Structure 1
Amino acid sequence: MDSNSSDRAADHRPAGAAGLPLRRTARDASKIVIVGGFGVGKTTMVGSISEIRPLSTEEIMTRAGIGIDDPSRVENKTTTTVAFDFGRISLDEQRVLYLFGAPGQERFWFLWDQLFSGSLGAVVLADTRRLKDCFYSLDRLEHHKMPFVVAVNRFDGPRPPLDRIRDALSLGDGVPLVECDARSRESCKSVLITLVRHLTRLHDPSLAQEVTP
């Protein structure tokens, strides 16, 4: 997987359609935030899993970002999120999950606290080539006392085992750590199920295994 895959996901929705309308029976809405470093695949993940064509605030990268953004490890990346990405998943007739992908560049970090407001939990998307980019995400989530899971977006190149990644990020045993492919709807779905099970386990351990795809 090259870094260009972090720009766009394959659109699995019908051509020309804006996506599924929100059911009138929907009553409960929950919010999940996807965070991580610059170019790690957040926009791709939202696009892969959303049942609607996602709202994206991507803009063409220009020379104005030279010296501000660091594209050295994402050399094929041509666009960047400047506010947030938004997607939606209907869990059943009454429950809806809203997804917000946070911008990864340091100059947009001031938006994160607002995106965290009202969120049930978060997914930290990680690139093993740039693990240090995860530390700000982990710090802010711990500051907000927000539950989260870490998903390793598997790019081409070395594939260190998860236990080494856990050690490198100083993750406690209670934080779920999984692999994913942000381009794959099923893979992204598995990550969200892991997060929901984690949230359920924190509130009522006896119910965690009842969360199914």
Structure 2
Amino acid sequence: MPDHLTIVDHPLVQHKLTVMREVATPTATFRQLLREISQLLAFEVTRDLDLTTRQIETPLCEMQAPTLAGRDPALISILRAGNGFLDGMLDLIPFARVGFVGLQRDEETLEPMQYYFKVPDRLDERAVIVVDPMLATGHSSAAAIDLLKQNGAKNIRLMCLVAAPEGVAHMHEKHPDVPLVIAALDDHLNEKGYIVPGLGDAGDRMFGTK
């Protein structure tokens, strides 16, 4: 397994992912499971956030207690499916800043086309967590991270639900400094660029648009 890749094999993550893969799982259930699984993955993707200490008073004494250091983290959703991760992550990190990158895949070339970009300021001083449920070719995620780096981001990590080997390889080639946290590494991409076995189009299944 590549050094930059972490697969979260926690039993609850794997169980919830199995239910999400099933074609018969309804939209409301899929959406709720995506929120729940994002919280579980968030524990791993935030594991190395910097800590400092501050003095507090407990009911018994004063102490130097650990607290997150630096500016609030930034959660960056790759539209539209990335939004399914935001609610769960904001439950855990309610003070996080949120940004959005809109990239639409050209169905002929499979290359990403930008249509929206709005992110927090001072990305160079924040831990930046990019979220997108499906890492297929990896082109959209790599392009989004290109844009974030151009806007100053340095401390970046990518969180996905399911990845294809092709996407993992592309991300490592383009951004070897970006750790990748996923729930499953699937088998391959089909001729249309979809992950197999996968779970279909995460955005369509989450929003009920197909």
- TM bucket, shorter chain: 0.3 to 0.5
TM (norm. structure 1) is 0.41
